[in-house]
Chain A
Amino acid sequence: MSPRHHPSADILASYATGTLDPGFGLVVGVHVGSCAKCRAQVSAFEATSGAALNDLPQAQLASGALAQTLARLDQIRFRPVAPDTRPLLERLPLEPKRWVAPGVWVAAVNTPRSAEDRVYVLSVGKSALTARHEHSGAEFCVVLKGAYRDELGVFAAGDFAFADSDVNHQPVVEGDQDCICLFATEGRLKPHGLIGRLAFELADV
């Protein structure tokens, strides 16, 4: 089934032009990979950027840049790399899982990031309750497995969710599978209530 919740056009544009931070780009990339409609929009933005490339002023290259590059061509050894076809969850460089509540684990994605950005996978079991929380900065989320529901509706595999400081929600798992999502957040989450604060503290998100 194709996803029903999509990133906005400006997010897709930033993604296509390379201006999105890598962690956020990773989340958008997962959605785009499973959504033909957004893929078409990204292609359109890429074409726009390609056209813009032609109009850019030409930067001065280092002297001998061409000769240097030609010399580098000689050193290329073609080593065809077989495409990695494992499911995304297995390909992500995850740090060890940390169980933060019954049925809930978090694993940070090992990616370079600025001090305040966090990229992580969160898995919530069907009977676990998540804490109501709000966000101190932008949060991108894509569902990898299972589904959850919040005030905006049901989010299933491939669906993209954006939250910022205006959003205060309490997602609940939908269906009888664990729900696994990939998040990139800027700034820390602000959980409400003691248990929520404790869990988020343990999870270091």
Chain B
Amino acid sequence: MSMLALNDGPSRILTLPRRKSVFVVVNSSELSDEDLLVRIGAGDRTAFEAIFNRYAPRVKSYLMRLGAGAAAAEDLAQEAMISVWRRAASYDAAKAKPSTWVFVIARNAWIDRLRREKVALAYQLANPPIEESQEEAPDAAVVRRGDESRVADALAELSEEQRQVVRLSFFEDNSHSEIAARLSLPLGTVKSRLRLALTKLRAHWEQYS
């Protein structure tokens, strides 16, 4: 594996198992998340630190929004990052963006915790990219990657107001009335905005399926 990347920024020095003495200079902040995950898959801790620093605080933030207390969110975020370490070798950039991949790991950590690991079923069934990555046909993978850019397209078609309610409702798990209170809007407006946004998103996907 060639890991040589020279640059001017602050850098770390890793020592590879000795034959001749070889120094590999890596500046992790210059690498894309995809590259970092590939390196983590090969056991590179420096790359792991970079991914940890980038994602762990956000994963914790996400978990707290789902209702985890600060201590549980901290613990689960660490657990999720350990899963990132363990599973990185199976990461496939053709199938999912790093942010999607990390998100799914964090979400599954949360669901498993909710179930106290008794029923680790639903999300394993539903998410072959992580659990059964070998079984997905290559053409299906292309569709998945395509889905992601389509989401970006679809979201771009929403108005700022619609994006906001979609975000508050699904990503931050607010009830319709909480959103109404937060945005100082009548409940009916929140509901119709959300319905409209989802109809638009769905119409966008249905063009392709």
Contacts and interface: CB of A to CB of B under 8 A. Distances in A.
B150 A66 contact: no
Contact of A53 (B70, B103, B116): B103
B118 A110 contact: yes
Interface residues of B, number: 74
Contact of A50 (B52, B101, B143, B150): B101
Interface string A28-62: 11101100010111111111111111101111111
Interface string A59-91: 111100110111011001010000100001001
Interface in B138-187: 143-144, 147-148, 150-152, 154-155, 166-167, 169-171, 173
Contact of B56 (A43, A45, A65): A65
A13 B170 contact: yes
Given A18-B66, A40-B205, A65-B78, A60 B97 contact: no
Contacts of B78: 65, 68-69, 72
Given A14-B170, A91-B121, A73 B73 contact: no
13 contacts: A15-B126, A39-B126, A40-B209, A42-B127, A46-B104, A47-B151, A52-B171, A62-B74, A69-B78, A73-B48, A83-B132, A112-B114, A112-B115
A157 to B, nearest CB: 14
A56 B126 contact: no
A25 B173 CA distance: 15
Contacts of B118: 93, 110-112
Interface of A: 8-10, 13-19, 21-22, 25-30, 32-33, 37, 39-54, 56-62, 65-66, 68-70, 72-73, 76, 78, 83, 88, 91-93, 109-112
Interface of B: 45, 48-49, 52-53, 55-62, 64-66, 70, 73-74, 77-78, 81-82, 85-86, 96-104, 106-107, 110-111, 114-116, 118-119, 121-123, 125-127, 129, 131-132, 143-144, 147-148, 150-152, 154-155, 166-167, 169-171, 173, 194, 198-199, 201-202, 205, 209
B123 A25 contact: yes
Nearest to A75: B82
